[in-house]
Amino acid sequence: MKRSEVLQAQSRATDSFATAGIRLTAEELERIEVAGFGLGELAVQGLLLITYINTERYCAKELLLFPRQTCPEHLHPPVGDDPGKMETFRCRSGKVYLYVEGDRTAAIHATVPAGSEPYYTVFREVELNPGEQYTIMPGVKHWFQAGEEGAIVSEFSSTSRDKFDIFTDPRVERIPVIVEDE
């Protein structure tokens, strides 16, 4: 991903957080992570996030999705003696469609990103509106997509070890690679 794309996405995220009434410090705004997952289509499959704290005991983040933006399917596996990340998503603004393992919802609201259909395998839909939350247990495949207005989700979890996340799509690169503009 080009540095200019990262800066543009961070600026847009700053505006979205402010509009939602989520106040971030100048230092936090500077470290908004832009996760494009190496897929080259940030507006379709991507995620912006700020990590407030991540220790050996717990983690707290804000996740921001632009309208209809999707975080690709993945799971949080065991790491050593740790059973894997357990996380609670609490919708703060907009609407988010979360998909987890279980009985398939007959008519889902999300649109699976074109060209990535084989990598989306779980379709039990959980719709989250502001003030609603859902807890994802360790090792459970999940993915999520914002509604028409985008979404902000607070994540409360056990320790986050992003580099160990397992994505269904082998093309995904979880840790962003940023290149300077030419």
Structural domain boundaries of the chain? 3-167
22, amino acid identity? I
Longest dimension (CA), the chain: 48
Answer yes or no: are the C-beta atoms of 96 and 147 closer than 8 Å: yes
Residues in contact with 55: Cβ distance below 8 Å, sequence separation at least 6, in sequence order: 159
pTM to 2 decimals?
A: 0.96
pLDDT of 40? 93
Each residue's pLDDT, cut to its tens digit, for the chain (182 residues) gives 898 999 999 999 999 999 999 999 999 999 999 999 999 999 999 999 999 999 999 999 999 999 999 999 999 999 999 999 999 999 999 999 999 999 999 999 999 999 999 999 999 999 999 999 999 999 999 999 999 999 999 999 999 999 999 999 999 998 778 888 87
* Cβ atoms of residues 42 and 36 within 8 Å: yes
Q: Which of 54, 47, 22 is closest to 32 using CA atoms?
A: 47
3-167 CATH fold: Jelly Rolls (2.60.120)
